[in-house]
């Protein structure tokens, strides 16, 4: 993983995953500094929206590809 910051891009190396206080904490290092990411219940709606976008795009692409394949198959049978 990489983190963009005012001092440049730094690698974030996750080292530990902890379930704590109704949330998830990822401990690791960002460059030379210790760092952590805290995810709690208030973050779930925003994360769900982010995850839904690629799923919706993938589903739409699958429908389009299936429709085009079906159309192509019908044209070749004529």
- Asked whether the beta carbons of 36 and 24 are under 8 A apart, the reply is no
Q: What is the pTM of this model?
A: 0.54
pLDDT of residue 34: 93
* More confidently predicted of 34 and 62: 34
pLDDT bracket for residue 77 (50, 70, 90): low
| Per-domain boundaries in the chain | 1-39, 41-78
* More confidently predicted of 34 and 75: 34
Residue 8 predicted with pLDDT over 90 = no
Residue 51 predicted with pLDDT over 90 = no
Residue 64, classified by CB atoms within 10 Å of its CB into exposed (0-12), middle (13-18) or buried (19+), is exposed
């Amino acid at each position: 993983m990489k983190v963009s910051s005012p001092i440049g891009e730094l690698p974030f190396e996750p080292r530990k995953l902890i379930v704590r206080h109704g949330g998830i904490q990822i401990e690791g290092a960002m460059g030379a500094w210790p760092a952590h990411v805290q995810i709690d219940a208030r973050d779930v709606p925003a994360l769900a929206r982010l995850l839904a976008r690629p799923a919706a795009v993938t589903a739409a692409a699958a429908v389009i590809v299936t429709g085009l394949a079906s159309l192509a198959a019908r044209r070749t049978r004529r």
